[in-house]
Amino acid sequence: MSRTLCLMALTALIGCPKPTVPTEPAAPLEVVEPEMTLPEIPFEQYTLDNGLTVILAPDHSTPIVYTNVWYHVGSRDEEPGLTGFAHLFEHLMFQGSANAPGEYFTPLQEVGATINGTTSFDRTNYYEEVPAQHLPLALFMESDRMGHLLEVLDQDKLDNQREVVRNERRQRYENPPYGEAYKKLYEMAFPEGHPYAHMPIGSHADLEAANLDTVKDFFRKWYVPNNASLVIAGDFDTETAKALVDQYFGPIPRGEAPVRRTAEPFTIAENMEVRQYDDVPERKVWLAYSTPGFYQDGDAELDLLSSVLSGGKDSRLYTALVKEQQVAKDIAAYQSSLGLGSLFVIQGTAAGDHTTDELVAAVDAVLADVMGENPPTVDELDGARANFEAGFYSGLQTISGKGDTINRYFMYSGDPGYMGADLTRYFEADAADVLASGQQFLMAPRVALHIMPTADNVDEEGGAQ
């Protein structure tokens, strides 16, 4: 990810006609460094009496409005034995509320809306993108499920959606090849009991054991206006939007202030390796290193380093492993950032008859070279910034992209206008900074997960793997 975001132009130098006979030597030109201009999304932020944070970002470029609610709860906030609840509510929130019974999607889809929700370790979000004239409908629907969902949540709905989630778990994690790789990787990388040691999907046992009262208690604790932020982005009149927000969300009572789970900074104390054999077609390996959380020192530098390592066919890992040594079919490196700490992941697929051990050895050789005699160059970092810039601006091309970006900045930094500070991290990181972060975090202990075809699981005398 990079930050050559500056739309800068040098002012043309316009001089007087050159005299026939100069009277004195010309003064040397003074080189003035142009100031960097950072992009921003104009917004207004305020808070209702019940604690709901409201962020308005008008954009009249297209006649649509995007409403985006982030509840500051994710799987990290779930207690042992009660996992999967945040994701379960991603489903229950679409089953109707007291003043909007029936499927949540129906009235919104009738006016051409795009609706969905997502759950992660750190947050749950719900959004609607509607034609501008239907902003009142979107706000009414969102507010009613915030304030009046539990009035109609019954055992039948819980049983139905619990089974939907369990089927989703089977389809996404248990049945596909390599589906549980990240579940295992996070269990290995994070200490037992850490908020990130279990995936948002939860476990079958916890979902099956959940009763209606426990589920309702989870909602009462977390899905309250003082634990949520509402972004409205797009084509709307500010005063009209404020009146609608006050009308629909204002009467919802404030809840008790929930206390989020936290964790001490963690490190992987020693190298750990797990080998799994399964009904999979190819040999794959994942390497994970503990790294800083969102917006912390080193986070941006590792983003840039990931691009140096695997951002294109001329990157260090791709060149060495895929093109030259041909031990890998594919290779990727990325900083997977989260609020309480992150993982830097390198994953690859072995080519032909090569083993994952050969692939790992080749990765280690490249890392040693990059962290040693051949550190990242200025040109490589410029390319990494260009890669970041392309992805960053691509995410801001839509109203929904802008709205989601504002809410993310607010939740992780407390400032919806954090964009400039975010981008500056990438502009100011030089080659020495990137090298230092790589040496600190990627030369440390790691976890390695090998997943291989069942046919490779022979005894030691057989010799495979």
Taking the domains of the chain in order of start, what are their residue ranges?
44-249, 272-456
pLDDT of residue 266: 86
Percent of the chain with pLDDT over 90: 85
pLDDT in tens, 173-218: 999 999 999 999 999 999 888 999 999 999 999 999 999 999 999 9
pLDDT in tens, 262-299: 998 889 999 999 999 999 999 999 999 999 999 999 99
- pLDDT of residue 459 exceeding 80: no
CATH topology for 272-456 is Cytochrome Bc1 Complex; Chain A, domain 1 (3.30.830)
CB atoms inside a 10 Å sphere around CB 91? 18
pLDDT in tens, 75-115: 999 998 999 999 999 999 999 999 999 999 999 999 999 99
CATH topology for 44-249 is Cytochrome Bc1 Complex; Chain A, domain 1 (3.30.830)
Percent of the chain with pLDDT over 70: 91
pLDDT of residue 14: 30
Confidence of residue 233 (pLDDT cuts 50, 70, 90): very high
pLDDT of residue 35: 57
pLDDT in tens, 33-82: 445 677 789 999 999 999 999 999 999 999 999 999 999 999 999 998 99
Confidence of residue 20 (pLDDT cuts 50, 70, 90): very low
pLDDT of residue 112: 96
- pLDDT of residue 453 exceeding 50: yes
pLDDT of residue 265: 84
- pLDDT of residue 19 exceeding 80: no
pLDDT of residue 180: 93
- What is the chain's mean pLDDT, rounded? 90
More confident residue, 30 or 234: 234
44-249 against 272-456: fold identical: yes
pLDDT of residue 464: 43
pLDDT of residue 26: 39
